[in-house]
Amino acid sequence: MAIYSILIALLALTCIVWRRAAIKLRAANRGTTPHSPSFDTVRVSSTAPTLCTYPLEPTRVGVVRPLAIHLFEGVGPIRFGMTPAEVRRILAEPEGDESLIRGNDNGSLRLRGMVLWCWPQTGVDEPPPESTLDRIELFDRPGTTLWGRNLHDWTEEKLTRELESLGLGGTRDDEHSCISVGVDVRFGFDRDRRIDYVDLEVPDSNEPGSA
């Protein structure tokens, strides 16, 4: 009787081992593992289109976020009137870009290709916690766009036509090689007359585009 029970147990164990081997063999023939999605499912999922927006959540530390310029408002999710803490929470980028130091940069946040000025200034490097963003300078920052087009794709001629079509005008300053929109927006150009610098300030209430 004991031998019969042992034989039954060995037979059951053999069936279990054989069944598991058969499952693994079928999965290998399909190019998948048991209980996992097929290769086609993974491929389709990885290429599914996604909606790209500017989230208000902070980015991963060290990631340079592409930013869209909003005249008279700010860039990307950053808006005039924000505190230094709010800007840092949203962008979460490394600070201290030494290539952007031009004389006295006290009271500013220097990021990749961008300087954010806060007011009031106290003459020290760190902007006061209660200060607010009132000026943004962009220096060939990667991924910057203006009206849906890469910033460097805008020539002086194209920019002039676009400003006129929007009713914003624009004044050419040959001495400083720039175009100004009121006193709050300035566009600088490289030797090929393409935009390589943008200076935005808090709009005056009497300027075009202001509330």
Whether the per-residue pLDDT at 40 is higher than 70: the answer is no
pLDDT tens string 136-162: 999 878 899 999 999 999 999 999 999
- 62 falls within a domain: no
- 197 falls within a domain: yes
6, 74: one domain: no
- 57 falls within a domain: no
23, 115: one domain: no
CB 151 within 8 A of CB 198: yes
The mean pLDDT value for 202-207 works out to 65
86, 167: one domain: yes
Q: Which residues contact residue 209 at a Cβ distance below 8 angstroms, ignoring those fewer than 6 apart?
A: 71, 72, 168, 181, 182, 203
Structural domain of residue 14, as residue ranges?
Answer: 2-46
- 32 falls within a domain: yes
25, 82: one domain: no
- Spatial separation of the C-alpha atoms in residues 134 and 178, rounded to whole Å: 21
pLDDT tens string 163-201: 999 999 899 988 888 999 988 999 999 999 999 999 999
pLDDT, greater one: 145 or 46: 145
pLDDT category at 128 given cuts 50, 70, 90 is confident
22, 116: one domain: no
Please tell me whether the overall predicted TM-score, pTM, comes out greater than 0.85 for this model. Answer: no
39, 79: one domain: no
Domain count, the chain: 2
121, 167: one domain: yes
How many CA atoms within 13 Å lie on the side-chain side of 173? Answer: 14
For residue 211, the Cα-to-chain-centroid distance in whole angstroms is 27
pLDDT of residue 7: 57
86, 160: one domain: yes
pLDDT of residue 124: 65
